[in-house]
Amino acid sequence: MIELDGVSYRYNGSVALGELSLRVEPGEKAVLLGANGTGKSTLLKILAGLLAPTSGTYRYQGEAVDPKRLRNAARNRRFRREVALLFQNPDAMLFNPTVFDEIAFGPRQLGLKDVDDRVRRWAGALGVAAHLDRPPFGLSGGEKQKVALAALLVLEPELLLLDEPAAALDPRSTGWLVDFLADLPVTVLTSTHNLSLAPELGSRALVLGEDHGLIHDGPIEAFLADPERLVAANLVHIHRHRHGGLEHRHYHAHDWE
């Protein structure tokens, strides 16, 4: 479904993504791991056809994709219907006067007949049906995240790209999201730097290192069991612990901070 061949991205003269080559097959649920600033959001934006790689090729369903190629109306229409990106900041995605209009935006653009049914079904699935007549701007961060997700899922995409989807969620909503995504019959690539959450979001890990290159592509359990790689990826840290009278140091993650 996704093929990246030597994809790199430079921004203001700096490397944001090293030369990445990888494949994602239909139905896979993969996790994109990496410390802040390693290029996770940039990679997701390239996969969503919003940024053009500085070098290398990105293919979706065998067809090269970049913003220039998506100027073709028919190609853009198909791609945008099939590939959806949830931005880390849900506010960036919400601009309609009501939650109903927000979720109905995509279906209306495509001239679908069953807009009302779709909106109510997905609003119900995401637990935001009670807010359909409210403006999205006054909702809590978690509710906005759910509305943004409903606005993407209403088009029933085949590839869902999620940029730190749990960042604005409380623990209860995070648990709900994990269950919801597990049951979703689409290909999902989720970025996170939360090591506790990562194994719940997919069985395969794509890990970006601080040099912006791919330092692991394989089973997530193998990566999480490899302290040297966790340290190299800056995903764990070391500091002193005190347990009663005992004091010692070891690597660990503080995921919920």
Instruction: Decide: is 10 part of the binding site for another protein (CB under 8 A).
Output: no
Of 57 and 96, the one with the shorter C-beta distance to another protein is 96
Q: How far is the CB of 41 from another protein (least distance, A)?
A: 9
Instruction: Decide: is 80 part of the binding site for another protein (CB under 8 A).
Output: yes
Q: Which of 54, 57, 61, 89 binds another protein (CB under 8 A)?
A: 89
Q: How far is the CB of 51 from another protein (least distance, A)?
A: 8
Instruction: Decide: is 81 part of the binding site for another protein (CB under 8 A).
Output: yes
Do strands 204-208 and 187-192 pair parallel, antiparallel, or not at all (unpaired)?
unpaired
SS3 call for 203: coil
Instruction: Decide: is 158 part of the binding site for another protein (CB under 8 A).
Output: no
DSSP labels for 75-125? HHHHHHHHEEEE-SSGGGG--SSSHHHHHHHHHHHTT-S-HHHHHHHHHHH
Other Cβ atoms closer than 10 A to 5: 16
Instruction: Decide: is 72 part of the binding site for another protein (CB under 8 A).
Output: no
Instruction: Decide: is 37 part of the binding site for another protein (CB under 8 A).
Output: no
Residue 136 tokens read as 């999205």
Other Cβ atoms closer than 10 A to 239: 9
SS3 call for 218: strand
SS3 call for 70: helix
Q: What is the dihedral of CA 92, 90, 141, 252, to 10 degrees?
A: -120
Q: How far is the CB of 205 from another protein (least distance, A)?
A: 25
Q: Which of 109, 140, 196, 203 binds another protein (CB under 8 A)?
A: 109
Q: What is the dihedral of CA 152, 155, 158, 160, to 10 degrees?
A: 0
Q: How far is the CB of 87 from another protein (least distance, A)?
A: 5
Instruction: Decide: is 246 part of the binding site for another protein (CB under 8 A).
Output: no
* Interaction residues for another protein, span 120-139 (CB under 8 A): 137
Of 113 and 249, the one with the shorter C-beta distance to another protein is 113
Q: How far is the CB of 123 from another protein (least distance, A)?
A: 16
Contacting residues toward another protein, per CB under 8 A: 45, 48, 50, 73, 76-77, 80-81, 84-85, 87-89, 91-97, 105-106, 109-110, 137, 151-152, 155
